[in-house]
């Protein structure tokens, strides 16, 4: 009888704990937003301008005087480090910290937009207290080899039959096959406040690249910009497939290996100190073309961005659906 009573008390205790924990979970759930199978907390009281100014005040007095040549070299090193996909997030942050950059804390988990073909990440923001300026960086990548479908209708990147038809006379490893016209990547600042007096986009880069299993980068390109402004900037690059290896049997070419040099894309911007009091939302934007289509122009406005194609139907654009606020 005693054992039965103890067992009954134990069961009721477990049930009580379970019910109360479920109630607590329900209360927590009320403060969450559900998106892409991920819960994340939103702090509605968080003030991003105050957070930026706190960084400025915390590191006040540590600014260094660089010559123009030193500043340009340092700036290029920072852009390259931000784009280095071979580093883990922890390694990258440690290296950036050693160079005088600290990340602006965003009080909720960042999400990626994930379409069927590409993943586009959210924007990260860093304060450079050595130069009293701000860096924004964002990235994206292809989830599959659907870009092969855009290479003159082929669905096989490694097809020797496509090679014979598209490359014509075999010229060996290094042969290139353009995919449509130019692609673009950039960072767009939307829903912004009035730009503070003196705010300027100091520099920016767009890069397209790929790497093999040992993380040797095949292509690392600085590209030209379109419409740099207080709304961000966009950068373009002619994407292509490049033959990296070939297999022969009895002297006859039997297969090839190709790499898509724009499988990963990245952009970073550097803004002047006045960005501290600027507010809005930052997103990564990306545009892809195929066949005979090229990009005529890309417009960045206060509330939206637009892409103008020279022909219709053979291009699409996307952006990260989770904004990085800096308001």
pLDDT in tens, 10-60: 444 444 444 443 333 332 222 222 222 333 343 456 677 888 999 999 999
Closest CA to 293 of 184, 158, 155: 184
Q: Is residue 12 part of a domain?
A: no
Q: What is the band of 223 on the pLDDT scale with cuts at 50, 70, 90? A: low
| Predicted pLDDT of residue 140 | 92
| Predicted pLDDT of residue 59 | 93
Distance separating the N- and C-terminal Cα atoms of the chain:
66
Q: Do 122 and 320 form a contact (C-beta atoms < 8 A)?
A: yes
Q: Is residue 97 part of a domain?
A: yes
- Calculate what percentage of the chain has a pLDDT beyond 90: 34
Q: What is the band of 158 on the pLDDT scale with cuts at 50, 70, 90? A: low
Q: Do 255 and 247 form a contact (C-beta atoms < 8 A)?
A: yes
Q: Do 273 and 132 form a contact (C-beta atoms < 8 A)?
A: yes
| Predicted pLDDT of residue 45 | 61
Q: Which of 35-44, 60-69, 113-122, 282-291 has the lowest mean pLDDT?
A: 35-44
- 154 φ/ψ angles, rounded to the nearest 5 degrees: -80, 150
- Record the pTM: 0.77
Q: Is residue 175 part of a domain?
A: yes
| Predicted pLDDT of residue 160 | 47
| Predicted pLDDT of residue 57 | 93
Identify the domain containing residue 122 by its residue range: 48-325
| Predicted pLDDT of residue 18 | 40
Q: Is residue 142 part of a domain?
A: yes
- Calculate what percentage of the chain has a pLDDT beyond 70: 70
Q: Which tokens belong to 19?
A: 């019910």
Name the average pLDDT for the chain. 77
| Residue 264 pLDDT exceeds 70 | yes
Q: Is residue 228 part of a domain?
A: yes
Size (the chain), residues = 327
Q: Is residue 290 part of a domain?
A: yes
| Residue 79 pLDDT exceeds 90 | yes
Q: Is residue 23 part of a domain?
A: no
Tally of domains within the chain: 1
pLDDT digits (tens, 9 = 90+) for 298-311: 888 888 888 889 88
pLDDT digits (tens, 9 = 90+) for 129-143: 999 999 999 999 998
Q: Is residue 121 part of a domain?
A: yes
């Amino acid at each position: 009888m005693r054992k039965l009573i103890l067992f009954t008390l134990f069961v009721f205790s477990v049930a009580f704990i379970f019910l109360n924990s479920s109630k607590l979970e329900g209360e927590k759930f009320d403060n969450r937003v559900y998106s892409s199978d991920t819960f994340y907390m939103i702090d509605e009281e968080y003030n991003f301008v105050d957070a930026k100014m706190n960084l400025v005040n915390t590191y006040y007095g540590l600014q260094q005087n660089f010559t123009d040549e030193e500043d340009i070299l340092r700036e290029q090193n920072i852009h390259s480090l931000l784009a280095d996909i071979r580093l883990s997030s922890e390694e990258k942050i440690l290296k950036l910290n050693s160079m005088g950059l600290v990340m602006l804390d965003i009080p909720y988990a960042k999400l990626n937009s994930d379409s069927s073909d590409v993943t586009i990440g959210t924007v990260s923001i860093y304060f450079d207290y050595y130069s009293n300026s701000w860096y924004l960086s964002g990235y994206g990548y292809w989830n599959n080899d659907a870009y092969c479908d855009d290479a003159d209708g082929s669905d096989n990147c490694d097809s020797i039959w496509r090679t014979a038809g598209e490359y014509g006379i075999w010229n060996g490893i290094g042969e290139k096959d353009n995919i449509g016209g130019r692609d673009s990547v950039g960072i767009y600042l939307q829903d912004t406040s009035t730009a503070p007096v003196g705010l300027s986009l100091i520099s920016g880069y767009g890069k397209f690249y790929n790497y093999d299993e040992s993380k040797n980068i095949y292509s690392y390109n600085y590209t030209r910009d379109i419409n740099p402004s207080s709304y961000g900037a966009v950068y373009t690059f002619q994407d292509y497939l490049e033959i990296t290896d070939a297999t022969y049997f009895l002297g006859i070419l039997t297969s090839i290996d190709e790499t898509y040099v724009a499988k990963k894309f990245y952009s970073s911007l550097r803004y002047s100190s006045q960005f501290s009091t600027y507010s809005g939302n930052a997103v990564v934007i990306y545009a892809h073309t195929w066949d005979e289509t090229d990009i005529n122009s890309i417009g960045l406005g206060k509330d939206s961005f637009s892409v103008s194609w020279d022909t219709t139907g053979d291009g699409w654009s996307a952006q990260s659906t989770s904004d990085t606020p800096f308001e």
